[in-house]
Structure 1
């Protein structure tokens, strides 16, 4: 008979690093069969959103920005942390899109949820889609360290570049694109 899995029992926990952007918790755990897990590091983080925003003529509103972790400038989706003042992930998507790109309006939908790295991160990614967005203003309200160029690209060509591997992008953008593709197919 197969044994059912159960969550580990946490026998000790402490915060080993914390700053404005990152908190690392180190847990000592025990599995259901009694094995001791000495130190398991968990990055605690806020939930965040990515938004695939489409203009009326199916142009995707993309952001081009430097990502220091890989030392490259990459193309991606607008997004950011869901703040305590946000009423919902959709409200966070609306705020982030406007702050980073100046685009807004239209219809916003939450289309999926995923865990960025459930092994050692505790946050949730909310994937959203925005339909029929338009340029509201030219100002950007960027976070410290952000420099963003706005790029518009045809949805079908963007999707093809991602699916073919031609455009290397963050894996969570791929999740949002997958949710968006499913959502759009059901709208036809």
Structure 2
């Protein structure tokens, strides 16, 4: 789909970039940019992140594989989709999504297709989140969690998934949006 409209705003020109902070999980840069009207902004800040992947996984019994984990940023435990960072050299987004699902839940296999791409915050972040639909996944083994992860796995029905997405039990917008797309586009 072409998102260009006749009178669309034009892209800004980057006149300079200064990296303020560079760590594997947190990179911040300050750009000097020039708008099409000639105005210059000397301090436009961008957070750089690698791509993220999410998985909406469904078992052959039509149970959806969700996780719950503590998120220190908001100080709460909520439902989430299995998800992670695409950070392994040579790994495709699909391979990353499959790895994350297996590591966090023990589930895998099935038929995989792209579901949705979203920008977490297009004004201030440079990454895209890719969500994959994995249908017919099965339990292949145990979780393979990192030392800092504590994740519980939950199988929920379609009605429970709908409630979780709509009642505030899932706060991560990048997880709620693909569920809503699934609910709106799949015939149930």
TM-score w.r.t. the length of structure 1 is 0.89
Structure 1 gaps of 5+ residues are: none
Residue in structure 1 matched with residue 177 of structure 2 by the alignment: 175
State which of 38, 47, 55 in structure 1 corresponds to 2:51: 47
CA contact (8 A) 2:110 2:138 kept: yes
Question: What is the alpha-carbon distance in structure 2 between the residues aligned to residue 70 and residue 51 of structure 1?
Answer: 22
The answer to whether residue 149 in structure 2 is matched with residue 146 in structure 1 is yes
Residue in structure 2 matched with residue 58 of structure 1 by the alignment: 62
Question: What is the alpha-carbon distance in structure 1 between the residues aligned to residue 11 and residue 147 of structure 2?
Answer: 38
State which of 69, 73, 76 in structure 1 corresponds to 2:77: 73
Q: Deviations over 1:119-169 (max 9, x none)?
A: 01000110111111111112x222342111111111222123313x34242
CA contact (8 A) 2:170 2:176 kept: no
What's the offset of the Cα at 1:179? 3.2
Residue in structure 2 matched with residue 155 of structure 1 by the alignment: 158
SS in 1 for 2:136: strand
Q: What is the count of residue pairs matched by the alignment?
A: 183
In structure 2, do the counterparts of structure 1 residues 168 and 87 end up closer, same or farther at CA, with 3 Å as the change threshold?
Answer: closer
The answer to whether residue 92 in structure 2 is matched with residue 99 in structure 1 is no
Residue in structure 2 matched with residue 125 of structure 1 by the alignment: 129
Over 4 Å off, 4+ runs: none
Structure 2 counterparts to residues 110-121 of structure 1, below 5 A? 110-121=114-125
Question: What is the alpha-carbon distance in structure 2 between the residues aligned to residue 141 and residue 114 of structure 1?
Answer: 27
Q: Deviations over 1:38-70 (max 9, x none)?
A: 211111111111001111111111111010110
TM-score w.r.t. the length of structure 2 is 0.89
What's the offset of the Cα at 1:184? 2.8
CA contact (8 A) 1:89 1:110 kept: no
CA contact (8 A) 1:14 1:25 kept: yes
